[in-house]
Every structure is written in C-alpha cells, then in structure tokens.
Amino acid sequence: MLADPVPKFTPSVPSQLNNTVTSILGWAAGLGLAMAVLGGLLSWAAIAVGQNSQNAQWAARGKTGVLFSLIGAGGIGAT
C-alpha cells in the first residue's frame, strides 16, 4: 500500500495573472449583483402595476422576476 496516494498540491493563480483575474472577477460579481438588484426593483414595479391595474399576467411575471433575481444574487454571493 502507498503511504499517501494523493500528492500534496495547492492550486494557485500565477502572480502575473492574480491582479488581473481578481479585478475581472470582482467587477463581474459587482455588476452581477447590481443587475440582480435592478431586476428585483423592476420586478416589484411590475407586481405593483399588475396588482393595481388588475392585470394578473404582469403581477405573475413580476413575481417570477423577483424569484430569479433572488436566486441570481444568492448564486453570485455564494461564490
């Protein structure tokens, strides 16, 4: 039997790419969260318009939009 069949390896980004990759991922996460918030606000507006104008389709689409915005923001936040 082998004493340690899995080699010791620590994954890391090369130092030349570390700043660039970190900046790109930071901007992507920030823009993604901003878009999720904007989508949530627009979805709440659609719910309000749909409820006040007796248009159930707008309200239903707004509720779906809020759900997707929360899922998207949660996914971005988890990473």
- Note the pLDDT tens digit of each residue in 9-62: 888 877 877 788 888 989 999 999 999 999 999 999 999 999 999 999 999 999
| Distance of alpha carbon 74 from the chain centroid | 6
CA angle 59, 63, 67 (to 5 degrees): 170
Sequence letter at residue 65:
G
Q: What integer pLDDT is reported at residue 59 of this predicted model? A: 95
Q: What integer pLDDT is reported at residue 2 of this predicted model? A: 63
Instruction: Look up residue 3 and give its DSSP letter.
Output: S
CA angle 21, 27, 31 (to 5 degrees): 145
pLDDT average, residue stretch 3-8: 76
Domain ranges of the chain: 29-78
